[in-house]
A = this chain, B = another copy of it.
């Protein structure tokens, strides 16, 4: 650690940040500011090869078993929104982080930070929702914790869920597995979770229903993994949306990616709402979708398997991986131009999960 600082101690050591020496909302966005915090604060200190892979889950070898391990805190505001709530979201989010490593979930933990004055009934509703979500996934919440902080020291209710899963033999998924020639597959329509939370928070009405897509993806993943060696990487495009997920995989794998705007499924209500608010749906969070990097030869088979699954009916090949422009994601737009799809610095929408 010290060596990074020695030359600049007089300026702003120990951690000179690009924009501010204070935490900004954008540091929680999953975008460039989040990555800066990771690179400058977390990774240098907690240095180890598993963390450094920056996957959504760690895969650790324990006596010959490959365990997936993941953690996520949920601070979504409001707590309840069309299509879900903080409780179901916490269960789905952690299940999906395990699933993106190819793991089947074994068990979850749940830790609550409660603000003094929260209605017990609100907590009860959230816990009931967690129960239902966990039952649907087929996992138990086996351990937990509750802390209470004074009124004004937290915003109602935060939940951390961590999870353990088991990675089957022969499954090796990591963000660095994309290879030139691979196809980029998206499991369904984008932007629904983020727009549902935003609509609820701001009291916005859109044309047509806008509901979160929050759902557990582990059985969809299991169906995709039936074709051996076909799937190279998986990501669920949550914070930062499809754009950030693709950028992360392109950077980790050292490849370029090109996607086709017209191939990306999107519901009309979402398209309209994004246009109205000036939001780019590629950056809006999803909680029940995945992006897969798939071997070309197996793509047809994988997409067919996805379309058999309720959560993959709209699965589409949306682009290709190439050797040129490593780390860069481009999009052929619906009007025929090509533009770069960069990672945002900060948030379009904070507190979305």
Give the 7 A-B CB pairs with smallest separation, nearest first. Answer: A28-B148, A71-B109, A58-B142, A162-B162, A153-B155, A160-B160, A58-B143
Q: A25-B150, A57-B143, A58-B142 are in contact. List 15 more A-B contacts (CB 8 A).
A: A27-B146, A28-B114, A28-B148, A28-B149, A42-B127, A51-B142, A58-B109, A58-B143, A69-B143, A71-B111, A71-B144, A72-B111, A73-B145, A153-B154, A160-B160
Bound-state CA distance A201–B154 (Å) is 19
Interface string of A1-42 (1 = CB under 8 A from B): 100000000000011010011111111110000100110011
Does A209 have its Cβ within 8 Å of any Cβ on chain B?
no
Partner pick for A160 among B71, B120, B127, B155, CB 8 A cutoff: B71
Q: How many copies does the complex hold?
A: 2
A48-104 contacts to B (CB < 8 Å): 48, 50-51, 57-58, 60, 62-63, 65, 67, 69-75
Q: Looking at chain A's contact residues, is the secondary structure mostly helix, strand, loop, or mixed?
A: mixed
- Report A243 CB to chain B, min CB distance, Å: 19
Q: Is the CB of B28 within 8 A of A109?
A: no
Kindly specify which of A128-136, A261-269, A270-278 makes contact with the partner chain.
A128-136
A interface list, Cβ under 8 A from B: 1, 14-15, 17, 20-29, 34, 37-38, 41-42, 45-48, 50-51, 57-58, 60, 62-63, 65, 67, 69-75, 106-107, 109-121, 123-124, 127-128, 130-131, 134, 140-150, 152-155, 158, 160, 162, 164, 166, 350-351
User: Interface centre among A45, A47, A130, by most B CB within 10 Å?
Assistant: A45
Q: Given A42-B144, A166-B63, are A158 and B124 also a contact pair (CB < 8 Å)?
A: no
Q: Is the CB of A73 within 8 A of B113?
A: yes
Q: Is the CB of B351 within 8 A of A149?
A: yes
Q: Given A28-B146, A72-B111, A114-B28, are A121 and B15 also a contact pair (CB < 8 Å)?
A: yes
- Report A32 CB to chain B, min CB distance, Å: 14
Chain B positions within 8 Å of A45 at CB level: 124, 127-128, 130-131
Q: Is the CB of B115 within 8 A of A23?
A: yes
Bound-state CA distance A75–B111 (Å) is 12
Q: Given A62-B65, A69-B143, A128-B45, are A15 and B160 also a contact pair (CB < 8 Å)?
A: no
Q: Is the CB of A23 within 8 A of B350?
A: no
